[in-house]
Structure 1
Amino acid sequence: MTEVTVRAMTPEEFDSWQDELAAGYAQEHVAAGNWTAEEALDRARRESAAFLPQGIATPGMLFLLGALADGSPVGRLWIGLNHPRGVAGCAFLYDIEVAAEHRGRGLGRALLAAGERAAREHGAEALELNVFGANETARRLYETSGYRVVTQQMRKDLPA
């Protein structure tokens, strides 16, 4: 597996990532049928702002940029050191993304492993995440990286 290292995002990298994060999160919710396309981007931005009231300086959050040995960036991670539902010793992976030009080369697995090391270095004993059901690629990555389902949300559409 290719080695990926992580470092803290700069404020400029954080600001750029916030725009991309909101757009991607909005798309996932629209695809899942949770939000309409018209409301999605505003809702995504509001949710992010609620989680990050102090932006990059929000306590208990890691905003990491992943890079190869030559320093070229390959992706980003957002890890909360305090679980949103208060699970003791468990950090939470809010976001992981490999840049489009680096996908399909095993770098997602390497970036995930680097994020796990960073969480462990900050005292986490476990790392939890949510994944949209339609995101088969991400689900396979997590399953083959040792993650297991601990809760599951299901939906059935009820036609009129």
Structure 2
Amino acid sequence: MPEVIVRQMKEPEFDRWYEDSTRFMAASQVAAGNWPAEEALQRAHASRRGLLPHGRTTAGMLFLRALKPDGTPVGAVWLGPHPRGVPDCGFLYFIEIDEPHRGAGYGRALLKAAEEAARSQGANSLELNVFGSNDRAVQLYETSGYGIVTQQMRKTFDDR
């Protein structure tokens, strides 16, 4: 596993990350069939505003940037309290490795760093959501010891 240095995001990094990750969230919801494309970005922004009323300084939220030892950014993670108030359980809202660095072990290294950060904030466990079609992420979480807590399934009817 490669070494990563993890530090809090600086404001300009957060601003870029916020916009990029909100667009990614919108596109992911469209691809999953959850939101219509014409409303997706608006819905994503509304969701983010609800979770982050004070942006980067919202109480309990932690925004981290992962870097190689030479200072090259490789990814980002967003941690916070569990949205449903599960006691002693943190929540991994977002984790992503920048495209050029995927497949080299940085995801596993960043996930481990996120777990350590959650522990340092008092969490005894960490929960997350993942789209079922994201095979790479599902495999990472399974091989890192995560188990299914709830599972949502959908069948699309082709005859309409």
| TM-score using structure 2 length | 0.96
What one-letter code is carried by the residue in structure 1 that aligns with 2:83? P
Give, in angstroms, the shift of residue 4 of structure 1: 1.2
Hey, what does 2:99 align to over in structure 1?
100
**Aligned twin of 2:51:** 51
* C-alpha distance in structure 1 between counterparts of 2:134 and 2:93, whole Å: 15
How far is the alpha carbon of 1:71 from its aligned partner? 1.7
Please state whether the residue corresponding to 2:7 is helix, strand or coil. strand
3-state SS of paired residue (2:12): helix
Determine if the alignment matches structure 1 residue 21 to structure 2 residue 10. no
Aligned length: 159
Unmatched runs of 5 consecutive residues or more in structure 1: none
Aligned-residue offset at 1:67: 1.0
Alignment of 1:129-140 (within 5 A): 129-140=128-139
Matched to 1:49, the amino acid is: R
CA–CA distance in structure 1, aligned partners of residues 105 and 31 of structure 2: 25
The 5-angstrom pairing of residues 34-113 of structure 1 reads: 34-80=34-80, 82-113=81-112
State how far apart, in whole Å, the 2-side matches of 1:69 and 1:12 are.
21
Superposed displacement of residue 3, structure 1 = 1.6
Cα root mean square deviation, aligned = 0.9
TM-score, normalisation: structure 1: 0.96
Instruction: Please give the per-residue CA displacement for 1:59-93, whole angstroms capped at 9, x wherever unaligned.
Output: 0000000111122111000001x211111110000
Could you tell me the percent identity over the aligned residues?
57
Q: What residue ranges of structure 2 are gaps of 5+ in the alignment?
A: none
Superposed CA offset, 1:6-53 (max 9, x none):
111011111100111111101111111001111111111110111000
In the aligned structure 2, how far is the partner of 1:90 from the partner of 1:4?
24
d(CA) in 2 for partners of 1:3, 1:149: 28
Runs of 4+ in 1 over 4 A off after TM superposition: none
SS for the counterpart of 1:143 is helix
Distance in 1 between residues matched to 2:35 and 2:88, nearest whole Å: 32
Aligned equivalents of 1:83 and 1:112: distance in 2?
17
Once residues 13 and 34 of structure 2 are traced to their aligned partners in structure 1, the CA distance between those partners, rounded to angstroms, is: 29
Residue type at the aligned position of 1:111: L
Amino acid at match of 1:6: V
